[in-house]
Amino acid sequence: MTNQDLRAQLTENLDEAEWEWLVPHMLRDAVIVVAPELDLLDVGVAIASDNVSEVKIWIEEALIAKPSAGQLTEWNSDRARRFHTLIVQPFVLVQEKAT
């Protein structure tokens, strides 16, 4: 599958979700927070196509990471907070929506 095909397939998985809906994924340690300056689809394509070098740079620059304790506290106190989401098995990539 080409990156273009993969991108088209992943585009269909782009969605929006409330934190409440994401909690089960967080409990199985599958949520990855994507910094707002990155394109959610670009990150999804890189992960799905196993682009280790690009993903490694984002991790090193803390542009993608597991949710921090502070984020979890904030989101758990406002379970209706909304996120852009992209499922890239086994992960759920999330990006906080601007309020």
The Cβ-side half-sphere exposure at 82, using a 13 Å CA radius, reads 6
Cβ distance 64 to 35 under 8 Å? yes
CA distance 52 to 36: 21
- Each residue's pLDDT, cut to its tens digit, for the chain (99 residues) gives 788 899 999 999 999 999 999 999 999 999 999 999 999 999 999 999 999 999 999 999 999 999 999 999 999 999 889 999 999 999 999 999 976
- Report if pTM > 0.95: no
Instruction: Locate the domains of the chain by residue range.
Output: 3-96
